[in-house]
Amino acid sequence: MKKRRPVPIESIPPHILADIGRAVFGQHWQVPLAKTLKVHDRTLRRWANDGGPLELTEPLRVVLEERQKEIHRVLGALTELGEEAA
């Protein structure tokens, strides 16, 4: 089991950053998230190991909310199909 480094309180913990990345982009999340945040993928990989700056909180929240809206829209379309078939 990989031991987590202690993270300063002024950063987003690596496991939270990874959870967000996987939730939005899947298994290979680092490059797509780096592009979305307009940072170099090496920067994002460093954040994934050491923690990301708290300034990422708002952009990450926006990314999650956009994904949530997309899922809600697609789920609604699927639900409508099921209702039409019934």
- Domain membership of residue 6 (yes or no) is no
Does pLDDT of 2 surpass 90?
A: no
- Domain membership of residue 3 (yes or no) is no
- Domain membership of residue 5 (yes or no) is no
- Cβ atoms of 54 and 7 closer than 8 Å: no
Q: What is the pLDDT of residues 39-83, one digit of tens each?
A: 999 999 999 999 999 999 999 999 999 999 999 999 999 998 887
- Domain membership of residue 58 (yes or no) is yes
Quote the CA–CA distance of 33 and 4 in Å, as a whole number.
Answer: 21
* ∠ Cα 39 23 69 (to 5°): 95
Within 10 angstroms of residue 13's Cβ, the number of other Cβ atoms is: 17
- Domain membership of residue 1 (yes or no) is no
- Domain membership of residue 2 (yes or no) is no
pTM score of the predicted model: 0.79
- Domain membership of residue 4 (yes or no) is no
Q: Residue 36: give the domain boundaries.
A: 12-85
CA distances from 56 to 2, 38, 62, 73, 76 (A): 25, 11, 10, 26, 30
- Domain membership of residue 74 (yes or no) is yes
- How many domains does one find in the chain? 1
